[in-house]
A and B are shown apart, each in its own frame.
Chain A
Amino acid sequence: MSAPPDLAPLSAESPPKKVATRNAYGEALLELGATNPDVVVLDADLSGSTKTKAFGKAHPDRFLNMGVAEANMIGVAAGLASQGKVAFASSFAMFATGKAFEQIRQSVCVPDLNVKICATHAGLTVGEDGKSHQMLEDVTLMRVIPNMHVMVPADSVEAKQCIHAAAEINGPVYVRLSRGATPIVFAENYKFQFGKAAMLREGHDLAIICMGVTVSASMQAAELLAQDGIQARVLNMATIKPFDHGAVAAAARDCGAILTAEEHQQNGGLGDAVAQSVVLSHPVPMAMCAMDDSFGQSGTGDELLAHYGLDSNGIAARAKELMQRKAKTAGSV
């Protein structure tokens, strides 16, 4: 991946329009339901919040509300998939991957079945509900299971394409979606490529590798950095697994420093994945904007992102620190 972005013409609107990725999920399910009779949808008493309700109204014979019982929901989805169905199962990320981790491993991933776990309300941006609902470990949990595919879309445009990609994949998929409205990053003609990082901005001083709601903040951070003469490359890592090692290695070689940004625990998340890849390909100084082994708290999504250094200011500040380390490292060689 050497060329600057031809695939990400940014929205010209200012301030950008905001839409929740979960809304795109609901729309994508309706599109899939109309074209693929094997698509079935399960929910755990949160169909209004996860946006599966519209599919349920359009296709009541292919919609199963499983009540507040996530482990059973995943098992039933696995049973349906074993008989040829493409089963989408939804709840909040906390419950879908937390309560049902074992069922996802044993009943979905061991037999390698077509279950698509599309979990909403992930991360800090759940907001006021607080730490019990702010799932910050789901990407870690999902990416370590063999056979699983993991996607974290940056906005609603990408989210819709991720859902369609999930339906095409023959095997288990996890898609991480958000509650809050997030800024639109991509133009409507954006083409998501499964398994590939998308370079949203070219730069050679450092690379910011990000996913989900931190992508728009990273783009804003790159603008702030540019005002200080720092040219940041921004890579949108919407597919966490399989992982685009080539894009990360290129970023390390071209930029000499990498910052990651994620609304997720540092342990096991995007930062860890990038660090592992960089260590094996082209080690460079790195820093991570992530949750540092702590739970969240109540507040608005924007307040929380700012508090934990995951907004544009926090990302830009960490980038500058990293640039100083990069300079020292270069000086010591």
Chain B
Amino acid sequence: MALETTRRDEIAAAANQVRIDTIRMVHAAACGHPGGPLGMADFMATLFMEHLNLDASNRHAPDRDRFVLGNGHTCAGYYSLLAQKGLIDRDALLTFRKFGSPLQGHPHRNHDLGIDFSTGSLGNSLSVSLGMALAAKQNGWDTRVYSASSDGESQEGQIWEAATAAAHYGASNLTVMVDFNNVQIDGYMRDVMDVRDLRAKYEAFGWHAVDVDGHDIDAIDAALVAAREETERPSALILETLIGKGVSFMENQPGWHGVAPNDEEAAKALQELGAS
């Protein structure tokens, strides 16, 4: 069933808030990774606002849904969504990457904040997510496990070990959302190390895999609904996105993978995003 207009608007607003928070957090930290969270904002907001069964009231429930941010460097956007869902104080967001903050430069497991796993080293996340999914199946829980990944992370061999095992064990409660923005630290992914057709790869590994416009909230929602209805295979959503989406001078620029905006750039970015 398609999203109602008001719901779609709410998700779009949450995504825009992710972008605003990301700029503010990375600017305040004077370091970090703004490009990825801006590109991922639409699918992350759709997941967190419409599908992921996680909020302040159920954070300690053992059988709630789980989320693992494989591309952990994009955690500014993740923290924004946890704040929007009431798990992190909004005031705490500006402590991101600072000494003593629970909002580490890459996520560290913290049940109180709803951070389900420690990540940051690319390649490890899908295996961990599979373990969570298999534990839920062993326990007879309806838990769904969502894992965010990326085209760059798909260069890691361990991803494909996990993909093999997830299909072998029929982990239909596992969904990976792959941010495909064609950008990695050293430049455009297709120049550095082309991972080619990830949908075809996941399909060949035995997954339910689909290409999705990573900025079309309706399409993202429909793909997540289809993943939920899949009963035999794990699901992979290959989400084509634009790094830096929403800030004109950051869009499709590899240089904005891991550089903080200065005062002037942050002000301009926030203006473009309509921040008040």
Residues on A facing B (Cβ under 8 Å) = 40, 61-62, 64, 66-67, 69, 71-85, 87, 102-103, 106-107, 110-111
Interface string of B94-131 (1 = CB under 8 A from A): 00000000000000110000001111110110111111
Q: What are 17 A-B residue pairs whose CB atoms fall within 8 Å in the complex?
A: A64-B169, A66-B165, A69-B164, A71-B123, A71-B161, A72-B130, A73-B127, A75-B126, A75-B128, A79-B128, A79-B134, A83-B62, A103-B124, A107-B127, A110-B108, A111-B109, A111-B118
Give the nearest-CB partner of B132 in chain A: A79
Interface size class of B (residues with CB under 8 A): 20 to 34
Q: Report B163-211 residues with CB < 8 Å from chain A CB.
A: 164-165, 168-169
B127 close to A82 (CB less than 8 A): no
A71 close to B135 (CB less than 8 A): no
Say yes or no: is B162 at the interface (Cβ < 8 Å to chain A): yes
Separation of A12 and B62 alpha carbons in the complex (Å): 51
Q: Report B225-251 residues with CB < 8 Å from chain A CB.
A: none
Give the nearest-CB partner of A84 in chain B: B62
Given contacts A69-B164, A82-B128, 8 further A-B contacts (CB under 8 A): A67-B164, A69-B165, A71-B127, A76-B131, A80-B131, A82-B132, A83-B139, A102-B121
Knowing A111-B117, A111-B118, the reply to whether A85 touches B124 (Cβ < 8 A) is no
Instruction: State the main secondary structure of chain A at its contact with B.
Output: helix
A75 close to B127 (CB less than 8 A): yes
Say yes or no: is B54 at the interface (Cβ < 8 Å to chain A): no
B124 close to A62 (CB less than 8 A): no
Distance from A261 Cβ to chain B, minimum over Cβ atoms (Å): 36
Separation of A282 and B43 alpha carbons in the complex (Å): 61
Separation of A103 and B169 alpha carbons in the complex (Å): 21
A106 close to B118 (CB less than 8 A): yes
Residues on B facing A (Cβ under 8 Å) = 62, 66, 108-109, 116-121, 123-124, 126-136, 138-139, 157-158, 161-162, 164-165, 168-169
Separation of A81 and B135 alpha carbons in the complex (Å): 8
Separation of A8 and B62 alpha carbons in the complex (Å): 44
A106 close to B120 (CB less than 8 A): yes
Knowing A72-B127, A72-B158, A111-B117, the reply to whether A80 touches B135 (Cβ < 8 A) is yes
B162 close to A83 (CB less than 8 A): no
Distance from B117 Cβ to chain A, minimum over Cβ atoms (Å): 6
B131 close to A75 (CB less than 8 A): yes
**Hey, which chain A residues are within 8 Å of B121, CB to CB?**
102, 106
A78 close to B62 (CB less than 8 A): no
A71 close to B158 (CB less than 8 A): yes
Distance from A117 Cβ to chain B, minimum over Cβ atoms (Å): 14
Instruction: State the main secondary structure of chain B at its contact with A.
Output: helix
A-B pair count, CB < 8 Å, reads 102
Separation of A66 and B163 alpha carbons in the complex (Å): 11
Separation of A180 and B93 alpha carbons in the complex (Å): 55
Distance from B102 Cβ to chain A, minimum over Cβ atoms (Å): 14
Distance from A256 Cβ to chain B, minimum over Cβ atoms (Å): 46
Knowing A71-B127, A84-B62, A111-B117, the reply to whether A79 touches B135 (Cβ < 8 A) is yes
**Hey, which chain B residues are within 8 Å of A106, CB to CB?**
118-121, 124
Distance from B129 Cβ to chain A, minimum over Cβ atoms (Å): 6
**Hey, which chain B residues are within 8 Å of A66, CB to CB?**
165
Distance from A156 Cβ to chain B, minimum over Cβ atoms (Å): 30
Distance from B11 Cβ to chain A, minimum over Cβ atoms (Å): 28
**Hey, which chain A residues are within 8 Å of B108, CB to CB?**
110-111
B131 close to A77 (CB less than 8 A): yes
Distance from A94 Cβ to chain B, minimum over Cβ atoms (Å): 17
Separation of A308 and B124 alpha carbons in the complex (Å): 38
- Nearest first, the 8 closest Cβ-Cβ pairs linking A and B are A79-B131, A75-B127, A72-B161, A83-B135, A69-B161, A76-B131, A79-B128, A80-B131
B138 close to A75 (CB less than 8 A): no
**Hey, which chain A residues are within 8 Å of B116, CB to CB?**
82
Distance from B22 Cβ to chain A, minimum over Cβ atoms (Å): 24
A82 close to B109 (CB less than 8 A): yes
Interface centre among B108, B109, B124, B126 (most CB of A within 10 A): B124
Knowing A71-B127, A72-B161, A103-B158, the reply to whether A80 touches B134 (Cβ < 8 A) is yes
Distance from B134 Cβ to chain A, minimum over Cβ atoms (Å): 6
**Hey, which chain A residues are within 8 Å of B138, CB to CB?**
40, 61-62, 85
B127 close to A85 (CB less than 8 A): no
Separation of A72 and B125 alpha carbons in the complex (Å): 10
Give the nearest-CB partner of B134 in chain A: A80
Knowing A40-B138, A76-B130, the reply to whether A110 touches B165 (Cβ < 8 A) is no
Distance from A221 Cβ to chain B, minimum over Cβ atoms (Å): 44
**Hey, which chain B residues are within 8 Å of A84, CB to CB?**
62, 135
**Hey, which chain A residues are within 8 Å of B133, CB to CB?**
79
Separation of A11 and B110 alpha carbons in the complex (Å): 49
Knowing A71-B127, A82-B128, the reply to whether A76 touches B165 (Cβ < 8 A) is yes
Interface centre among B108, B123, B136 (most CB of A within 10 A): B123
Separation of A40 and B138 alpha carbons in the complex (Å): 10
Give the nearest-CB partner of B131 in chain A: A79
Separation of A30 and B120 alpha carbons in the complex (Å): 36
Separation of A66 and B165 alpha carbons in the complex (Å): 7
Interface centre among B62, B117, B118 (most CB of A within 10 A): B118
Separation of A106 and B108 alpha carbons in the complex (Å): 10
Separation of A40 and B134 alpha carbons in the complex (Å): 11
Distance from B249 Cβ to chain A, minimum over Cβ atoms (Å): 34
Give the nearest-CB partner of B157 in chain A: A71
- In the complex, which of the residues A64, A72, A82, A110 contacts B162, with contact meaning CB atoms closer than 8 Å? A72
**Hey, which chain B residues are within 8 Å of A72, CB to CB?**
127, 130, 158, 161-162, 164-165
